[in-house]
């Protein structure tokens, strides 16, 4: 059953890529995707290395102790969706919209931890999942906000150079 669930998740991720990676903001989308992949992989490596979480069923089990489908596909794609969903929002709406992602993710992980062998929580809880999902969402959202600010500054600098 676990292999089927992982294959379904992989298929869903692959299916969603063409829909998420289109439009004018391709550079930002790629930055979101790859930076979230790096962040999720680093956090997951720490969490697995400290034996807080274990992935009994995972792809490439002989090579990796973490689940690559989660770390480099699912969580990064989730962040792409979230940033697009909250792109022009103020802080209050960003906070509210983050709950639409972190609460179902936390409940889903809790359910799958109890009913499958996809992962086992050792020194982990639904609260840890909620906090780590929000931490990574806000970290990536802040990073994109920083990039947007740099782009605006660069745009203003180019305008000033044209006036001279």
Q: What is the pLDDT of residues 20-37, one digit of tens each?
A: 998 888 888 999 999 999
Question: Which residues share a beta bridge with 121?
Answer: 53
CA distance 60 to 151: 39
CA distance 82 to 141: 9
- Residue spans per domain, the chain: 2-163
pLDDT tens for residues 85-135?
988 888 899 999 999 999 999 999 999 999 999 999 999 999 999 999 999
Per the CB < 8 A criterion, the answer to whether 21 and 31 are in contact is: no
Provide the strand spans (E) within 8-99: 53-54
As a whole number, the mean pLDDT across the chain is: 91
Band (pLDDT 50/70/90 cuts) for residue 4 is very high
Tokens found for residue 43: 């956090």
């Amino acid at each position: 059953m676990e292999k089927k669930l992982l294959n379904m998740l992989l298929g869903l991720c692959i299916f969603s890529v063409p829909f998420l990676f289109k439009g004018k903001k391709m550079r930002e989308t790629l930055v979101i995707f790859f930076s979230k992949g790096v962040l999720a992989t680093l956090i997951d490596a720490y969490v697995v290395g400290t034996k807080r979480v274990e992935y009994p069923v995972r792809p490439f089990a002989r090579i990796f102790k973490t689940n690559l489908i989660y770390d480099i596909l699912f969580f990064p794609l989730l962040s792409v969706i979230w940033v697009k969903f909250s792109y022009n929002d103020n802080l209050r709406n960003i906070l509210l919209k983050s709950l639409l992602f972190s609460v179902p993710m936390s409940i889903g992980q809790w359910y799958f931890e109890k009913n499958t062998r996809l992962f086992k929580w050792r020194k982990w809880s639904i609260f840890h999942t909620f906090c780590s999902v929000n931490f990574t969402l806000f970290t990536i959202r802040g990073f994109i906000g920083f990039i947007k600010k740099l782009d605006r500054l660069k745009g203003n600098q180019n305008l000033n150079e044209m006036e001279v």
